[in-house]
Amino acid sequence: WSNKFQFPDLISDQRRILRSKIVEKCSIRSNLLLLELEFLKILSRDLEANDDLGEWPSFSTIELLTRFAGYQEKFIFDFETENQDFQMAIINESQKCLCNFVFQYENARDFC
């Protein structure tokens, strides 16, 4: 994979805090949801994360992304916006995050 990233200046505690804050803020009610998911996608490619993780990604992260990625009518109509392009972008970014997690992390595969 050519799109793997490293954040060498972040120590494991900082990395953990950053990830938990992003997941905590991801909400269907957030105007920044797409940006949060794009950032989470970048974090999901962090090669250094494998060294300090047993708990990443957490079950709640996988569950959240699965909810966003699942193409369910109720979920789609729960969006505050009527913009279908935005809705599809949310679904696509969530699916990309899930793919990254499943590819890179054994515990994500176990959850699935």
The parent domain of residue 47 ranges over 12-111
**Total number of domains constituting the chain:** 1
In this structure, which amino acid lies at residue 11?
A: I
In a domain, 7, yes or no: no
Contact 37, 94 (CB under 8 A): yes
Look-up of token digits 């994360």 = 49
- Tell me the two tokens of residue 96: 């990309």
Question: Considering the chain, what is the average pLDDT of its residues?
Answer: 70
Residue-wise pLDDT for 7-47, tens only, equals 666 666 676 677 677 767 666 555 677 888 888 887 777 66
- The total of other beta-carbon atoms located within 10 Å of residue 81's CB is 10
In a domain, 3, yes or no: no
In a domain, 41, yes or no: yes
In a domain, 6, yes or no: no
From the list 80, 103, 84, 95, the residue with the least C-alpha distance to 32 is: 80
- pLDDT computed for residue 10 by the predictor: 63
- pLDDT computed for residue 6 by the predictor: 60
